[in-house]
Structure 1
Amino acid sequence: MIKIVPTTPYPDQKPGTSGLRKKVPQFQQKNYAENFIQSIFDSLEGFDNKILVIGGDGRYYNREVIQIAIKMAAANGFGKVMVGRGGILSTPAASNLIRKYGAFGGIILSASHNPGGPTEDFGIKYNASNGGPASEKITDAIYARTKVIDSYRICDDPDISLDVPGIKHVDEMEVAVVDPVEDYAALMETLFDFPAIKTMIQSGFRVAFDAMSAVTGPYAKEILENRLGAAKGSVKNFMPLPDFGGHHPDPNLVHARALYDEMMGPDAPDFGAASDGDGDRNLIIGKGIFVTPSDSVAMLAANAHLAPGYAAGLAGIARSMPTSGAADRVAEKLGIGMYETPTGWKFFGNLLDAGMVTICGEESAGTGSSHVREKDGLWAVLLWLNILAVRNESVKDIVTKHWAAFGRNYYSRHDYEEVDSDAANGLVDNLRDQLATLPGKKFGELVVQTADDFAYIDPVDHSVSKNQGIRILFEGGSRVVFRLSGTGTSGATLRVYIERYEPDASRHDLDTQEALADLIAVADEIAEITKRTGRLKPSVIT
């Protein structure tokens, strides 16, 4: 039976770059999740009797909200829901299901790389029929609806079993509980040379993958160990846990430190990788060398033709504005388009749908291609393995040869997490006030060439996105970028991106932080980071 339940709005349900993210206790407030889900449905048209994909990364409160979303989908007129067994679907796997089965869209329950648990983070985002994150037009409409919502629709049916695959029903709506891995693994087999990778692994090539007790565990276990023959135990922390084992499921050098230490050790495997909470980010480490996400995008693009799915070449490359310019030089050499977008995977969607780009990447460890409309951590791992199998070289050899050919972009991101929101906004306002006067100023040997607040005009639909990050570019190609992140749930995260281009191969073995030291000091001087935030150093350096 369908019930119409009266409700009152919450004022804090504005989606960020990746949906609505709050602490679990906030989502557990009366009607909080229901209000947001109903606002999604109220902002859409034409979904009667259509398919809705629902799944999440297995974090705390995932199962409860999936049951709510299924019952609300039935009450609002969807014809079918596809949900991953156990409520599990990685974000790229959900995107693939939407595209493969012609779904109207999908609801993905995740807070990505943020921690999980009873007092930690939870999130809900809507993906459109192309499999990608909802456009700003849709998220703006959802937010507007949350401010005035007065009721929601839900079926008064018992919960369904999520652990047994098969067809069930809620009211008159069909619910298909599906294997979360099968369709995704089948897609990967069409893109990569699995026999070549398997031969390499069987010859003694060792892989270490840290699933971080998050969603990619079952995917990596099936693909890397069962299909490609990596030794049992190659995939560590493969069981998705509601609290990610008490760890922060962010594949960076702080939170995946054990993997980094293993890869830098005397008996290191040949290839190390990790993925995050919902499976869309990646960490790549070779024996004795960490590959920055920005470099990884460029190197994957330069070598993608070695994988069967990309043998015909790339249409173009896109990167987020804060990502280093390493991929730009690859695009120039290949003679293909290069697009600089704001941060947020949704900005790649129009370019991918229009066939203008094939590979996209963000410095925040997100890499992907036209195969889905989300970044895809395991995809990046498999493309690296395919390249290694064909080139028969080590990760370190591939990296150093790439730098010799294209130059090295020394690059680092400094995150100041949970900064007081007023202090963070004041810092950004002060930077904006300086933009007109910065060009021509000298800071030691550094001279400011230009400074702006990045604005993006979408080449497909000509929409404009302003205030996407403050850029300070110096003569000679160095730059510093400041941006407030939209992925946190407490206070504000100030991200500072520092980059220096070095074409001289004899200077490619410097320590990154030392190579960037003068830029780091200037960033603090211009933005008054220490003075305004009270922080003497970043929370995380990547």
Structure 2
Amino acid sequence: MIVTQTTTPFTDQKPGTSGLRKKVRVFQQPNYAENFIQSVFDVVEGKEGATLVIGGDGRFLNREVIGKAIRMAAAAGFGRVVVGQGGLLSTPAASNLIRQRGAIGGLVLSASHNPGGPDEDFGIKYNIANGGPAPEGVTEAIFARTGTIDRWQASDAAVPDLDTLGESRVEDMVVEVVDSVADYAALMEQLFDFDAIRGAGLTMSFDAMSAVTGPYATEILEKRLGFASGTVRNGTPLEDFGGYHPDPNLVHAHELYDRMMGDDAPDFGAASDGDGDRNLIIGRGRFVTPSDSLAMLAANAHLAPGYASGLKGIARSMPTSAAADRVADALGIPAYETPTGWKFFGNLLDAGMATICGEESAGTGSDHVREKDGLWAVLLWLNILAATGKSVDAIAREHWARFGRNYYARHDYEGVESERADTLMAELRAGLYALPGRTVAGLTVQAADDFAYSDPTDGSVSRNQGVRILFAGGSRVVFRLSGTGTSGATLRVYLERYEPVDGNLDRDTGEALADIVAAADELAGIVRHTGRERPDVIT
């Protein structure tokens, strides 16, 4: 039977770049999750009899909210819900499943790289029929509906067993529990030369960070590619990620970094995040920044069967270094600079204008799905290593010798008081017009702007996407506030210095960026506004 529950709106349900993210205790409020899910269903058109995919990263509250979503989907008129076994689906696997099943869309329950547990974070994101995050028009409609909602509906039937594969029914709707890994693993076998990787004799270490990628990595790396048992560490998904922060950077994956810098390091090291869409790449003795990884993958993608015919274009988020642009220029293909957020890449991918995309925040992917994909990046790196017989360090050095090196780092100031962060950005924007020609910390400002993006596929314009300050010689600093947190604001400062092929290509990154760090503080007054003498995280 369908039951109707009266409710009142919450004022804080505006989705960010990756859906609605809040603390678990916020989602545990009566009607909170239901209000948002009902708002999504009220906005979705053509749902009668349609297929909906549901899955999440296994964090605390995942199963409970999936149960609510299934019963509400039955009330909303969906014909079929496809859910990952145990409620698990990595974000790229969910995107793939939406596309393979011709689903109208999907609910992805995750807070990505944020911590999990009863006192930590949870999130809900709606992905559309192309498998990618809902565009701004849809998220704005969802938010508008959350402000007027007065009821939600759900079946009062029991939720099917999510651990048992097969079909059952809730009202007239079919609930299909599927193997979370099988379809995704089959797609990877189509894109990459598994025989070559198996035969290369490589050794590796993969840290799944007690998150959703564990089962995928175990199946693909250990079972299908033959890497030794134990190659995948922290491979069992836990509701609190073992008490750790599942963000694959040098702070939270320091054990992997230390292992890869040791005398007995394997050939290749990698990690993924809470929902499986980010990656960390480290070779023996060589960390590869996400920006460089994007450029190096694009330059060598033709070595993998799925990309042997070449790339249509390369897209990067604005804060990502310009290293990929130099590759695109050498390949004679377009390079696109978009705002942060994978939905902007989705338009380019759907239009056939780009093949490989990436963000500096450890997200890379291609047109195989419409989300960034951590394990995909790992497998492309393995394919390149197998095809060339070279080490990660050798590939990096040869790349810089050909294209020059973009020394790059991101400084994160986390949990900054929102008012302080907003004031910092407002002052920066107000003073942009006066910056060109000014010398700061020995660097001359060549140009400064507040990045705006005109989407070449539909003509839409996205403004206020981050402050860019470009220095003479190709270096720059970018300032923006992140939308991926659940409390306060995270100020992200992106620092980049371009070193041409005849320059010093083997400097310490911190040393190479020291004057840009000083210029960033002088320009934005970071210490003055935030009270922070140093960033919380450097990647």
Letter matched to residue 94 of structure 2: A
Pairwise CA distance, 1:506: 5.0
Stretch deviating more after TM superposition (93-102 or 152-161): 152-161
Q: Give 1:357 deviation, angstroms.
A: 0.2
Of 270-279 and 152-161, the range deviating more from structure 2? 152-161
- Name the aligned partner's letter for residue 251 of structure 2: V
Q: CA contact under 8 A between 2:413 and 2:536: conserved in structure 1? A: yes
Distance apart, 1:159 and its partner CA: 2.1
Paired position in structure 2 for 1:149: 149
Q: Is the 8 A contact 2:214 2:235 kept in 1?
A: yes
Structure 2 gap ranges (5+): none
Tell me which moved more, 437-446 or 15-24: 437-446
Aligned with residue 420 of structure 2, among 418, 423, 431: 423
Q: Secondary structure at the match of 1:220?
A: helix
AA aligned opposite 2:234:
N
* Cα distance in 2, alignment partners of residues 432 and 529 from structure 1: 14
* Secondary structure of the corresponding residue to residue 496 of structure 2: strand
The correspondence for 1:455, drawn from 437, 452, 456, is: 452
Which of 223, 226, 233 is the aligned partner of 2:223? Answer: 226
SS at match of 1:372: coil
User: Aligned to 2:522, what secondary structure does the other structure show?
Assistant: helix
| CA distance in structure 2 between the aligned counterparts of 1:56 and 1:44, rounded to whole angstroms | 20
1:118-267 equivalences in 2 (<5 Å): 118-200=118-200, 203=201, 205-267=202-264
Query: What pairs up with 1:519-538 in 2 under 5 angstroms?
Result: 519-538=516-535
Q: Find the aligned partners of 1:230 and 1:274 in 2 and give their Cα distance.
A: 15
> For residues 441 and 379 of structure 2, what CA distance do their matches in structure 1 show?
44
* Counterpart for residue 466 of structure 1: 463
Count of paired positions: 539
Identify the residue that residue 3 of structure 1 maps to in structure 2: 3
Q: CA deviation at 1:505?
A: 4.7
Q: Read off the aligned partner of 1:405 and give its amino acid letter.
A: R
Distance 1:98 1:456 in 2: 28
TM-score, normalization by structure 2:
1.00
1: CA distance between counterparts of 2:158 and 2:456?
A: 48
Partner of 1:87: 87
* Contact 2:70 2:159 (C-alpha < 8 Å) held by counterparts: no
**Mapped partners of 1:434, 1:391: distance in 2:** 49
Q: 1:505 to 1:290 in 2, by over 3 A?
A: farther
- 2:270: which partner in 1? 273
Tell me the equivalent position of 1:49.
Answer: 49
C-alpha contact (below 8 Å) 2:403/2:501 kept by paired residues:
no
Between the aligned partners of 1:540 and 1:264, the Cα distance in structure 2 is 20
Question: In the TM superposition, what whole-angstrom CA distance separates every residue of 1:230-257 from its partner, at most 9, and x where no partner exists?
Answer: 0000000000000000000000000000
Residue 25 of structure 2 is matched in structure 1 by 25
How far is the alpha carbon of 1:489 from its aligned partner? Answer: 0.4
- SS of equivalent to 1:65: helix
In the alignment, what sits opposite 1:409?
Answer: 406
Q: Separation in 1 of the partners of 2:117 and 2:241?
A: 8
- 1-side partners of 2:506 and 2:363: how far apart? 25
Structure 1 Cα separation of the partners of residues 427 and 105 of structure 2: 41
In 1, Cα distance between equivalents of 2:346 and 2:395: 30
Q: CA deviation at 1:444?
A: 3.8
| Segments of 4+ moved more than 4 angstroms | none
Amino acid at match of 2:520: A
Identity in percent: 71
What residue identity is the alignment partner of 2:14?
A: K
- Confirm or deny that 1:499 pairs with 2:496: yes
Shift of 1:508: 1.0
Alignment correspondent of 1:360: 357
The corresponding residue for 1:59 is 59
Secondary structure of the corresponding residue to residue 494 of structure 2 = strand
| Pair 1:286-2:283 in alignment | yes
Asked whether the 8 Å contact 2:441–2:518 carries over to 1, the reply is: no
Deviations 1:157-179 (A, max 9, x none): 11221111110111110000000
Q: CA deviation at 1:447?
A: 0.7
**Secondary structure, in 3 states, of the residue corresponding to 2:511?**
helix
Q: Which amino acid aligns with 2:214?
A: G
**Contact kept in structure 2, 1:320 and 1:362, CA below 8 Å:** yes
Q: Distance in 2 between matches of 1:345 and 1:462?
A: 17
Residues 88-126 of structure 1 show CA distances to partners (whole Å, capped at 9, x for unaligned) of 000000000000110000000000000000010000000
Per the alignment, residue 292 of structure 2 pairs with 295
Q: How far, CA to CA, are the matches of 2:501 and 2:308 in structure 1?
A: 31
Residue 443 (str. 1) matches residue 440 (str. 2): yes
Distance 1:168 1:65 in 2: 19
Alignment-mate amino acid for residue 11 of structure 1: T
* Structure 1 alignment gaps of length 5 or more: none
**2:339 maps to what in 1?**
342
Quick one: distance in 1 between partners of 2:316 and 2:476?
16
Aligned residue type for 2:125 = K
Query: SS of 2:263's equivalent?
Result: coil
User: Aligned-pair distance for 1:297?
Assistant: 0.2
Cα separation, 1, equivalents of 2:101 and 2:173: 17
Match of 2:373 among 376, 380, 390: 376
Secondary structure class of the residue paired with 1:69: helix
Q: Distance in 2 between matches of 1:516 and 1:280?
A: 28
Deviation at 1:490, TM superposition (A): 1.1
| SS at 1:67 equivalent | helix
Q: What RMSD in Å do the two structures reach over aligned CA positions?
A: 0.6
Q: Which position in structure 1 is the counterpart of 2:72?
A: 72
Opposite residue 126 of structure 2, the aligned amino acid is: Y
Aligned mates of 2:302, 2:402 — CA distance in 1:
17
Inter-partner Cα distance in structure 1 for 2:507 and 2:302: 30
Give the conservation status (yes or no) of the 8 Å contact 1:403–1:505. Answer: no
Aligned amino acid, residue 151 of structure 1: R
Q: Alpha-carbon deviation of 1:425?
A: 0.2
Q: Which amino acid in 1 is paired with 2:453?
A: Y
SS at match of 1:507: coil
Following TM superposition, by how much is the alpha carbon of 1:509 offset from its aligned partner in structure 2, in angstroms?
Answer: 1.0
Is contact 1:18–1:125 with CA below 8 Å preserved after alignment?
Answer: yes
The answer to whether structure 1 residue 483 and structure 2 residue 480 are counterparts is yes
Whole-angstrom CA distance in 2 between matches of 1:445 and 1:21: 41
**Structure 2 match to 1:322:** 319
